[in-house]
Amino acid sequence: MGFLETLSGRKKVLSFEIIFDDNNNVGVNVNKNVPVVPTPDYIRLWACYEAKMIYNLGYPKNISSNMAIGTIAKIVKIDINENTNCFQKANLDDVIQYTPNISKGNIKFTGEFYAKGSTERTIKTWLPLRGTEQQAVYSTLALMQYSISMARDDKECLDVFTKTARNMIKLYESGMGVGVASVVKIPTLAYMQAIGVAE
C-alpha cells in the first residue's frame, strides 16, 4: 500500500486489468488484495470505473462520454439478471465479444479500487497510450459484465446493480456529471440511493 493510502486510511480492495486482444475480444482480470470482497463492492467497482471513464472522455461535450451513458441505459432498460449480456443489450456484440478468461492483449486499461469504512470507495486508473475512446466505452461494459458475473447468485445484489445504474443515468441527466468531483459523487450517491440510504 502506498504512503498516501496509509495516511488517508484507504485500503486497496483489488486491482484489475481490462484487456483487448487483436481478435475483437475483451476480458477482465482481477486480483483481490483482501481475503473477501463483499459482492456489493463489485457493483461499486463498476460504478466508480464508469464515472471515471465518463469524466476522462470529457462529459458532457464528448460524444463518446454520452455514448457510454447511452449504453448503460440500453442495458438497464430491463432489470439486470444472471443472464444479462451487456454487449448484446448494447447492440455491440457484432463488434466486440466479452471473453471471461483472457490473458494476452495489446491494449490494457488498469486500475485499483480502494475502500475506507463502509461508504467511501475510490478508484485509480491507468489508461493505455494507444487506447481509443471506443475501447474506453467497451472497457466499462466489460467491467460491468464481470461485476454481474460476480453477483450472479445474489438476486438482491443484481437488483441493487440495476438501481445503481439507473440512478447514475438520472444523476448525469440532472447535470451532476460536470467536474472531477463527479467521479466520486455520482457512483457513491447512485449506490446509496439504490440501497435506500440517500434520497
Instruction: At 54, list the grid cell.
Output: 465518463
Check: pTM over 0.85? Answer yes or no. yes
Across-strand partners of 20?
A: 26, 107
Strands of the sheet containing 11-20, edge to edge, are 97-98, 25-32, 11-20, 107-116, 120-126
Domain that holds residue 35: 3-194
| Number of separate domains in the chain | 1
Residue 156 domain-assigned? yes
Average pLDDT, the chain: 95
Is residue 199 in a domain? Answer: no
In the predicted model, is pLDDT for residue 101 greater than 90? Answer: no
* Region 40-45 average pLDDT: 98
Residue 1 pLDDT: 47
At residue 7, does pLDDT exceed 60? no
